[in-house]
Amino acid sequence: MRFLLSELRLIAGRRRNQAGLLVLIAMPVLLAVAVRLTEDNPRGGGPPGFIDQIVGNGVFVAFAALTFEITIFFPLAISMISGDAIAGEAHSGTLRYLLTVPAGRVRVLIVKYLGIVAGSVVAALSVAIVGAAVGAAIFGTGPLLTLSGTQIPLGTGLGRLALSALYVALGLCALGAVGLFLSTLTEQPIAATVALMVVTSAMWVLDAIPQLSALHPWLLVDRWPAFADLMRDPADYAAVTEGILVDLGYIVVFLLAAWARFAGKDITS
């Protein structure tokens, strides 16, 4: 427990993680201000999303921000944290001292992964909370217009926003498990970070090629944007449930891979 607290303090204390979180929560603010400034422009014809609803209800800033950040900003943040997890300690040489304490290899992996989980949850919730707050301040709030065209009360809407943020966080946890595995392969944290970004981008690309539709259900990112279905009336949980199963599958597979790799690895750094 003390070890986990120490790990969380270490992650939270790093300047670049603090800067990363600032960038993440700057997005909804930017979004809200941009929509406010262009309120009079003609709309429609743009990509589907929550942008058009923002003027009607500020809470949609949060949904729109989650949708935008899920493609690149969230994965980048998780890449940074998870790439650093093992490779960062190996690079600075502190890994050998952790292991001779002895902290236990499995224990180190667990604590490192819980740190990534905490980072994922904090990232997703921060964006949701800041988005809802800034949106409400600029555009006001009230009952939410669902994608189905009906209205749901504000309380229900906020509940669905919380669910959406947690769903996004779970997806990031799954990505973090891949990152943790990559981090056990190298002593260069930047290599693990870049590798995870390459993996993420490749999955988005593959997901966009219709000819590969057979592959899509197995891609981690395929159902990431599915939280939008929660804003239907009634909420549609089908795609989200599938997404959760895929996330859990990735978590199990890659945590096992990380363990298999790390448990017997020669630490020569």
Partner 1 sequence: MPPSVAADPASAVADGGSGGAPYAVETRGLTKVFGKQRAVDGIDLRVPSGSVYGFLGPNGSGKTTTIRMLMGLVAPTSGDHDILGRPMPAELTSALHRVGSLIEGPAFHPYLTGLANLRRLDAADARSEARSSAARINAALERVGLEPAANKRFRAYSLGMKQRLAIAAALLAPRDLLVLDEPTNGLDPQGTREVRHLVAGLAADGITVLISSHLLAEIQQICTHVGVMSAGKLVAQGGIDDLRASQTAQLTVHTPDPTDALQVLRRAGVARLAADGEVVTGEPGRLAPERLVADLVTAGVRVQRFGIDRPSLEDLYVSLTGEGFEVRQ
- Which amino acid does the sequence have at 128? A
Residue 92 touches partner 1, criterion: CB under 8 A: yes
**What type of residue is 260?**
A
What's the CA gap between 87 and 187, in Å, rounded?
Answer: 5
Task: Check residue 227 and report its DSSP letter.
Answer: G
**What is the C-alpha separation between 124 and 14, in angstroms, rounded?**
19
Cα Rg for the chain, rounded, in angstroms? 20
With respect to partner 1, which residue has the nearer C-beta, 92 or 213? 92
Q: Which of 12, 21, 29, 107 binds partner 1 (CB under 8 A)?
A: 107
102 binds partner 1 (CB under 8 A): yes
Residue 259 beta carbon to partner 1: minimum distance, rounded to whole angstroms: 16
Q: Is residue 18 a contact residue for partner 1 (CB under 8 A)? A: no
The window from 6-14, 44-52, 172-180, 223-231 that contacts partner 1 (CB under 8 A) reads 6-14
Q: Which residues contact 41 (CB under 8 A, 6 or more apart)?
A: none
CB of 229 to partner 1, least distance (A): 42
Return the bridge partners of 31, or none.
Answer: none
The reply to whether 245 sits near partner 1 by the rule CB under 8 A is no
Residue whose pair of structure tokens reads 């809802």 in the numeric block: 132
Interface size with partner 1, residues (CB under 8 A): 26
**Nearer residue to partner 1 within complex by CB, 84 or 222:** 84
Task: State how far the Cα of 38 lies from the Cα of 36, in Å rounded to an integer.
Answer: 6
The residues of the shown chain that bind partner 1, judged by CB under 8 A, are 2-3, 5-6, 10, 13-15, 92-94, 96-104, 107-108, 264, 266-268
